[in-house]
Chains A and B, each alone.
Chain A
Amino acid sequence: MTTTTIAGCAVELNDEGFFEHPEQWTREIGEQIARGEGIDPVTPQHWKVIDFMRAAYFAKGTGPTVRVLGKTSGVTIKELYQLFPKGPAKVAAKIAGIPKPKGCI
């Protein structure tokens, strides 16, 4: 685990770069992480997914897998992979400041 400064705030990330404490997140931090992941510009459609992932995490204790995202976020699987080519659930979780979702599908 490491403490890094993103967008002027000190945050704790695990070895894979996911947030240890989701409450430390701000939108500016999310934007910066997104750019680091090669997502620029961060469009409203990106934010729709990021916000959905955060809401799902706080409601259920875990972020959604890609399948659940595709079925319940209002964004199709095809579009999810266009928005986040390196893995929608994984990358969106990183940007959203929540732990990596657990699940095989």
Chain B
Amino acid sequence: MGESIQKVSVVISKGSLDGIYPGLIMANGARAEGIEANLFFTFFGLDAIHRKHHEHIKISTVGNPGLHVPTLVGGIPGVSSVVTHMMEKKMEHLDIPSIPEFIEMIADTGAGIYACKASVDLFGLSKDDFVEQVDDIITVGDFYDRAAGGQIIFT
């Protein structure tokens, strides 16, 4: 076994359920191992920390070969909601927290939670649009400063 990891900075850039969870699990898992962690939300990842969207994140059912559902079927109105609902039921059964609860939990572990300034400007958002757990809106340069000395995980 080599040197242990001391800090990770996880970037979440996607807005789908399957695009958001891996980053949350990495950040939370890092904290559980005593590793310092930062979470940086950019582009559609901002939905995970957006007050109006964070409870309505869906599984991507179109053009998602991993789901084993033909794209034409996945694109039928209502299918993404049904598939998301099925997935959420399974996750509840395994006691995997919902995205809002997970963000709250990760904030409680002491991880830093940040929104990307460039994306915030692009979408015309402000700090009020985000959940209270968001520490700050920062630039990519700030992100690199905070990530310095640790590993960066891009999702």
Indicate if the CB atoms of B28 and A105 lie closer than 8 Å.
yes
> Which of A2-10, A27-35, A45-53, A88-96 forms contacts with chain B?
A88-96
Query: How long is the Cα–Cα vector from A66 to B28 in the complex, in angstroms?
Result: 10
In the complex, what's the smallest C-beta–C-beta distance from B21 to chain A, in angstroms?
10
Query: In the complex, what residues of A have CB within 8 A of residue B31's CB?
Result: 66, 81, 87
Given known A66-B32, A90-B33, contact A77–B109 (CB-CB < 8 A): yes
Query: In the complex, what residues of B have CB within 8 A of residue A78's CB?
Result: 108
| B 22-47 binary contact with A (CB < 8 Å = 1; else 0) | 00010011011110000000000000
Indicate if the CB atoms of B95 and A68 lie closer than 8 Å.
yes
Q: Any chain A CB within 8 A of the CB of B97?
A: yes
Indicate if the CB atoms of A87 and B34 lie closer than 8 Å.
yes
Query: In the complex, what residues of B have CB within 8 A of residue A65's CB?
Result: 32
| A 54-86 binary contact with B (CB < 8 Å = 1; else 0) | 000000000001111010000011100100011
Number of interface residues of A (CB under 8 A): 18
Query: How long is the Cα–Cα vector from A66 to B34 in the complex, in angstroms?
Result: 12
Q: Any chain A CB within 8 A of the CB of B118?
A: no
Chain B interface category by residue count: 10 to 19
Which parts of B100-120 form the interface with A (CB within 8 Å)?
105, 108-110
Q: Any chain A CB within 8 A of the CB of B153?
A: no
Closest chain B residue to A89, Cβ basis:
B32
Closest chain B residue to A65, Cβ basis:
B32
In the complex, what's the smallest C-beta–C-beta distance from B39 to chain A, in angstroms?
15
Q: Any chain A CB within 8 A of the CB of B148?
A: no
Give B contacts to A, CB under 8 Å: 25, 28-29, 31-34, 95-97, 105, 108-110
The 4 closest A-B pairs by CB, nearest first: A86-B34, A87-B34, A77-B108, A78-B108
Give 5 A-B pairs besides A67-B105, A68-B95, A87-B31 with Cβ atoms closer than 8 angstroms.
Answer: A67-B97, A76-B108, A87-B33, A90-B34, A91-B34
Can you spell out 28 A-B residue pairs with CB atoms less than 8 angstroms apart? A65-B32, A66-B28, A66-B31, A66-B32, A67-B97, A67-B105, A70-B105, A76-B108, A77-B108, A77-B109, A78-B108, A81-B31, A81-B108, A81-B110, A85-B34, A85-B110, A87-B31, A87-B32, A87-B33, A89-B32, A90-B32, A90-B33, A90-B34, A104-B25, A105-B28, A105-B29, A105-B95, A105-B96
